Amino acid sequence: MIVESDIACIEQLRMDRRTFNIFISLVREVGGLRDTKNMVVEKMLAIFLHLLVFEEKNREIKYDFQWPGETISRHFNNVLKAVLILSSLLLKKPELIPENSTDERWKWFKNCVGAIDGTLMDVNMFAIDKSHHRSRKNTISTNVLRACAPDMQFIYVLEGWEVQLPMEEYFEKKIYHEWRRGLEQPCSKEELFNMRHASARNVIERAFGLMKVRWEVLAKGTKYPLSTQINIILAFVYIHNLIRQQMSVDPMEAILDAYMEEEGDNDEIEDDEDYIQNCDASEEWTNFRNTLAQDMYDVFLARRH
């Protein structure tokens, strides 16, 4: 998995050999993970990542690695604890969009730190607890709130609460999928704002889309206790950021693009919206948003003429 080639390492562990070696150094030096009498950290980490990539059960993977299920479970949890310690290193520090930004998606949103969104993730739990986590689609889920920077590195994640989180939507009655397909131009400041706002915040959908294609566990769930499942979600975020930091090309982007092309929509990544609700903006924010939308539209009209 980690010696043959970068291709093999990426296929099995979702990162190249250089990134894997950096990961090893981090879990050793910062996470405090140590070799045991019978297993080195390299193998612990490879087993951990392999379990998350392919969602293999202990009883299956013990044959692959020739270790008892109890031993694999113990090392998995030790690695997970070490990875969680890396949060302060791997979560991206928020950076404001500068005044002189030339990024076409973000230059209008000065002083913004990124995009934020919520999603539902399926989890497994005891029957007595299921009523608190049942969604309107009748799945057993946990809420995950995440925020990321324009480079698709996560800067914040909160997961595991039971109550529904209302998320604010801007000019939420307008739909812009037709405009993005080139069928029409925005004809009001609200439409232009929503188009640009949707284009910028697409980064959060794309970032989470990458996580879903990278880790099969996100799609299938695990049999671990709920607290462990929540910690695994956090670990996904930190490892995602490590890959984005260390690999010049994220191999999962091509897979995500192929998936989106097959689905017939390259602009939006399907997300769980059944728990997201509207909430009223403050008067101060409404005024700020309206002013920004008007400024956008004035410039847009000037360029058209």
Q: Given this model, what pLDDT does residue 1 score?
A: 67
Output the average pLDDT for the chain.
78
- The helix or strand, by DSSP H or E, that contains position 42, with its residue range, turns out to be helix 41-54
Instruction: List per-residue pLDDT tens for the chain, 305 residues long.
Output: 677 789 889 988 999 999 999 999 999 999 999 999 889 999 999 989 988 888 666 566 666 666 777 788 889 999 999 999 999 999 999 899 888 888 888 888 888 888 888 777 666 655 555 555 556 665 666 777 889 999 999 998 887 555 443 444 444 444 444 445 454 677 788 888 888 888 887 888 888 888 888 887 776 666 777 788 889 889 999 999 999 999 998 888 888 888 777 765 544 444 444 444 445 556 777 788 888 888 888 888 888 76
The reported pTM is 0.77
Contact 117, 143 (CB under 8 A): no
Cα torsion angle, 166, 172, 177, 180, sign: negative
C-alpha distance from residue 90 to each of 16, 23, 62, 213 (Å): 17, 11, 30, 20
Q: To which residue do tokens 């950021």 refer?
A: 241
Q: Given this model, what pLDDT does residue 153 score?
A: 94
Q: Given this model, what pLDDT does residue 102 score?
A: 87
Q: Given this model, what pLDDT does residue 225 score?
A: 77
Q: Given this model, what pLDDT does residue 281 score?
A: 59
Structural domain boundaries in the chain: 6-85, 115-304
Q: Smallest Cα–Cα separation from 156: which of 254, 103, 234?
A: 234
Beta bridge partners of residue 158, listed in sequence order: 145
